[in-house]
A and B are shown apart, each in its own frame.
Chain A
């Protein structure tokens, strides 16, 4: 039996954060095609497409509304896509962000949203932007050790109080499969060329139809990485890498949801 699928697909072709105002004209089309693919693969799928319309920019409130409208249940697939420009973390901003029209959605924001889902929701985040892998490694953290990679400037009291209120460690450990289009930002400059962005979605869809695992998809990516053309697959817990890409079957429940299989980092 095909399981239920939900999605929040965010496409932001133009943003105030882009250097020179470079537009990603194909962003909305690519997100729409992914929606069509998911709706065909998962009949009855409920997919929210958050994209600009004349006079209506992509705001953070619109994105949060889309998340609030999604109600995935345990065992359901929940796909989150961002297709647009990414913003790097730095010492003053210890979080990477998806650039909305004039605002941003941070990696901490996303991790917190995912932590609010019921246990055992099968979350797949597709981060198609520069620094996109940072949405798996929240903030400027080392992929190897999980440690902060550089000293942070003293955060403001407001930032500290918010971080304490949320529990930063919990946020960092949000379970997900993250398919990203670039490095995390701390290992390099994390730039991905616009020319290959659409290719990531095409390859994910092809992998789903072939029935290969996330691990095999990552291996496929690993074999032909080039500057500006780096795709990655990460999973927490790590054993999710052995599941089929966008599998249609209901997955077995983990013993205690978020903790199943360890941290997997």
Chain B
């Protein structure tokens, strides 16, 4: 199972609603336009007991960016391709160059804020030559 991240960017001056069919419990996050908090958990959609999926409407307010993470690919159709941009990335892969910021988002720091949206707490070994970190607790056993 690989975590997929979906980002929904609303460029319209009205709320856009998209119907989503998900096969697992889904947390919905909002990318905050400003402030020290990057993102906020705004809703959770649970699959009812004895059901295989949940169908819900995601309401993305004007000029806002929402997102979610899932293991199983959700089903949805972009209802307004002229105003709603949807980006999807896998695992810890960074988002592509972010789309232009909708009006509420301050251009300063926008790229960093976007890059951090739905980011994980995992590192990558292949980024550098990994040292041999074999057990080394003997250091704490009295040799220090």
Query: Which residues from chain A sit less than 8 Å from chain B, CB to CB?
Result: 15-20, 22, 24-25, 60-61, 64-65, 67-68, 84-88, 90, 93, 95, 97, 99, 103-106, 108-109, 112-113, 116, 128-131, 156, 158-159, 162-163, 165-166, 171, 181-182, 187-197, 199, 224-229
Contacts and interface: CB of A to CB of B under 8 A. Distances in A.
15 contacts: A19-B124, A86-B123, A106-B135, A109-B135, A116-B140, A129-B122, A171-B135, A191-B3, A192-B122, A193-B27, A226-B24, A226-B26, A226-B27, A227-B25, A229-B69
B94 interface: yes
Contacts of A187: 1
B88 interface: no
Given A106-B135, A226-B44, A85 B122 contact: yes
* Residues of A contacting B: mostly: mixed
Contacts of A226: 24-27, 44, 69
A225 B26 CA distance: 9
Contacts, number: 169
Contacts of B133: 93, 95, 97, 103-106, 109
Nearest to B141: A116
Given A103-B133, A194-B119, A17 B127 contact: yes
B99 interface: no
Contact of A227 (B71, B127, B128, B138): B71
Contacts of B121: 24, 84-86, 128-130, 181-182, 191-194, 197
A188 B71 contact: yes
Contacts of A195: 29, 38-41, 118
Nearest to B125: A87
A205 to B, nearest CB: 18
B87 interface: no
A92 B121 CA distance: 21
Interface in B19-64: 24-27, 29, 36, 38-41, 44, 46
Contacts of A225: 25
Contacts of B25: 224-227
Contacts of B38: 194-195
A191 B125 contact: no
A155 to B, nearest CB: 8
A181 B121 CA distance: 10
A251 B128 CA distance: 45
A166 B137 contact: yes
Contact of B123 (A18, A67, A194): A18
Contacts of A95: 133
A87 B26 contact: no
Nearest to A66: B140
Nearest to A23: B116
Given A193-B118, A195-B41, A16 B132 contact: no
